[in-house]
């Protein structure tokens, strides 16, 4: 039997829970039932990312995680490799949405988000500074605003990797090792979050309380993940890129459209980064384009003809 709900999250095809016929290859999710708690819909086998919402029109997942935070407590450089947790499998390809932002808090520290495979491309980065008096006193400036402007913390938009897919490493390093602030009241940290989620005042308070209670600083961060469909397991990401280069972009052939978009009232859309496809219901229809008979006419487009009196 196919599971279509986990807790309060609707599990929409091509995603699914249960036997392999319940989902498209690679789109399998796990419904975890922790003792005494509400069920959790998990994206990865490690249980790092919990799915809060699946959107078919936007082809996005909203996930939360308390592990995707880098906190530096020494002079060493630190990093978080997204590819360890978002490895594409089967017919699914995940990528980090540009609806997220990079957030960094700390003194004289730099955060850099690298492109796919940790190549030379950088898709985001920012540096947070503090005054000499703050560094000497071992304090991070008090968070007075929701957003960051470069003093004590910074925020930066994220661009889409040229080759699509998830980014590589999110790295954190100190800008001036000769002036390392090893007595700071709060260690530097970096994270990726959905735009609008971060509130510097609230998160700073969480970090302070964690330090006071000698607990791991683990805010539950909300992240937006894009997903696309590959035409089959045998067609990998590199195959799509090679095909796109040789034919000036991806095209939804009749075979590809028939393989992915099952509703006869839907259309196939190639991803702008040449990394897969998605489906949408025709205008005037709504529902699930990945299922037969999934797109249904909306009530606003129904016409009722009454005979003349």
Same domain as 84, residue 178: yes
* Average pLDDT by stretches of 10, the chain with 309 residues: 92 95 92 90 87 96 87 67 67 86 91 76 90 81 84 91 75 72 76 92 86 80 92 54 50 88 94 80 95 88 59
* Reported pTM: 0.85
pLDDT score recorded for residue 234: 46
Same domain as 200, residue 97: yes
pLDDT score recorded for residue 304: 56
pLDDT score recorded for residue 247: 45
Same domain as 163, residue 277: no
In a domain, 24, yes or no: no
In a domain, 99, yes or no: yes
pLDDT score recorded for residue 117: 64
In a domain, 196, yes or no: yes
Q: What share of the chain is helix, strand, coil (3-state, %, to 5)?
A: 15, 35, 50
Same domain as 79, residue 210: yes
pLDDT score recorded for residue 269: 93
Same domain as 289, residue 251: yes
Measured in residues, the chain has a length of 309
Provide the residue range defining the domain that includes 295. 234-301
Instruction: With residue 31 as reference, give the H or E element that holds it.
Output: strand 30-32
pLDDT score recorded for residue 160: 80
In a domain, 54, yes or no: no
Residue finishing a domain among 208, 227, 246: 227
Same domain as 222, residue 160: yes
In a domain, 201, yes or no: yes
**Contact between 217 and 68 (Cβ < 8 Å):** no
Counting the structural domains of the chain, the total is 2
Same domain as 203, residue 113: yes
Place of tokens 């989620």: 197
In a domain, 5, yes or no: no
Residue finishing a domain among 209, 227, 245: 227
Instruction: With residue 132 as reference, give the H or E element that holds it.
Output: helix 132-137
pLDDT score recorded for residue 279: 96
pLDDT score recorded for residue 69: 81
pLDDT score recorded for residue 211: 80
pLDDT score recorded for residue 187: 84
Same domain as 257, residue 124: no
């Amino acid at each position: 039997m196919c599971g279509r709900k986990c807790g309060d999250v609707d599990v929409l095809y091509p995603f699914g829970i249960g036997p392999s016929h319940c989902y498209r290859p690679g789109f399998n999710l796990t419904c975890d039932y922790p003792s005494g708690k509400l069920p959790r819909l998990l994206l990865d086998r490690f249980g790092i990312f919990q799915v809060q919402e699946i959107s078919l029109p936007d082809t996005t997942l909203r996930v939360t995680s308390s592990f995707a935070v880098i906190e530096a407590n020494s002079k060493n450089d630190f990093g978080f490799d997204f590819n360890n947790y978002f490895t594409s499998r089967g017919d699914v390809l995940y990528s980090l949405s540009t609806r997220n932002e990079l957030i960094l808090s700390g003194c004289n520290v730099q955060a850099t988000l690298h492109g796919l495979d940790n190549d030379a491309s950088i898709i985001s980065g920012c540096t947070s500074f503090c005054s000499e008096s703050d560094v000497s006193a071992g304090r991070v400036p008090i968070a007075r605003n929701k957003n960051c402007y470069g003093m004590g913390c910074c925020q930066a938009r994220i661009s889409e990797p040229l080759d699509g897919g998830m980014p590589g490493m999110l790295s954190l390093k100190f800008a001036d090792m000769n002036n390392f602030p090893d007595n700071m009241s709060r260690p530097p940290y970096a994270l990726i979050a959905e735009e609008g989620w971060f509130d510097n005042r609230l998160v700073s308070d969480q970090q302070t309380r964690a330090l006071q209670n000698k607990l791991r600083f683990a805010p539950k961060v909300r992240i937006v993940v894009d997903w696309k469909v590959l035409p089959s397991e045998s067609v990998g990401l590199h195959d799509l890129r090679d095909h796109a280069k040789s034919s000036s972009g991806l095209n939804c052939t009749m075979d590809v459209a028939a393989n992915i978009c099952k509703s006869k009232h839907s259309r196939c859309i190639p991803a702008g980064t040449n990394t897969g496809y998605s489906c949408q219901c025709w205008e005037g229809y709504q529902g699930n384009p990945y299922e037969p008979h999934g797109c249904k006419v909306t009530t606003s487009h129904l016409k009722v003809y009454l005979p003349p009196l």
